[in-house]
Amino acid sequence: MAGEDERRETTGVYVYGVVPADVEPEQDATGVADGAVSVIAQGEIAALVSELSVDRALGKPEDLRAHANVLDGTARVAPVLPLRFGAVLSDADAVKEELLSAHADEFASVLEQLEGKAQYVVKGRYVEKAILREIIEESDEAAKLRDAIRDKSEDAGRDARMALGELVSNAITAKRDEDTRKAVEALEGLTESDNVREPTHEEEAVQVAVLTDVERQEELEKAVGQLAEDWDGRVEMKLLGPLAAYDFVVTQKPEGQG
């Protein structure tokens, strides 16, 4: 029919990820552009999808959040293979043929490996005053530079300030490496795999993504809680998850798709 053909030309299918065929989206799941989330199944696997106008540009912060929310909500209850943000196919048949059928064995294998597992992110940020005090107490040079700029104007103390800033930056990098090592050691035995992420903030102490059994979340929380206790007043710790396994199994967008 003309109306249906016109609709197909103006809408596409946004794909979030791949799940086992028996998975259903949460009833209140809302996708990109407030689209209703549904599944398109093919054999033993399925795609989490929503309808999207092909004229709508993607990339707004709310689009990225919606993409992650759909995947993370699913990861709490079922294995999910995330697709990179921005995968849009022409229609349901294209999802079945170009995505699901074309990679059926590969996707089924990964989903089997992810059964019962999810990603968590262990994050820690240094308490600024505490880490600066620690660095100055450990370094005679830092203490001298601090004294050299005390009560001096910005111009008069510029060289000393620059030297102190570089010293502090290098010291934080060294401490981050050591504290990340300690965090990874503290999580040993609880995780199947880990990925140390690049720092996203100059005062970041730890950022490690881990893949672990959802059943062990409480043990993971206790391990992170012990780190927080050990570093009380020095590092502020938090645990994010369960999340989709972005750091471990994210697949590319379907070839040729925007």
Domains of the chain with CATH codes: 2-115 (no CATH), 118-246 (3.30.70)
φ, ψ at 222 (rounded to 5°): -65, -40
Instruction: Summarize pLDDT for 83-125 with one digit per residue, the tens.
Output: 999 999 999 999 999 999 999 999 999 999 999 999 999 999 9
Question: Given this model, what pLDDT does residue 160 score?
Answer: 82
Q: Would you call 164 exposed, middle or buried from its count of C-beta atoms within 10 A (0-12, 13-18, 19+)?
A: buried
Question: Given this model, what pLDDT does residue 8 score?
Answer: 52
Question: Given this model, what pLDDT does residue 26 score?
Answer: 80
Please name the residue that has the structure tokens 């089924």. 108
Taking a C-beta distance cutoff of 8 angstroms, is the pair 70, 27 a contact?
A: no
The pTM for the full model equals 0.86
Question: Distance of CA 231 to CAs 187, 222, 224, 225, Å?
Answer: 15, 14, 11, 10
Question: Given this model, what pLDDT does residue 108 score?
Answer: 96
Nearest-Å Rg of the Cα atoms of the chain is 24
Distance CA 56, CA 76 (A): 30
Distance CA 18, CA 41 (A): 9
Which residues in the chain land under pLDDT 70? 1-9, 151-156, 252-258
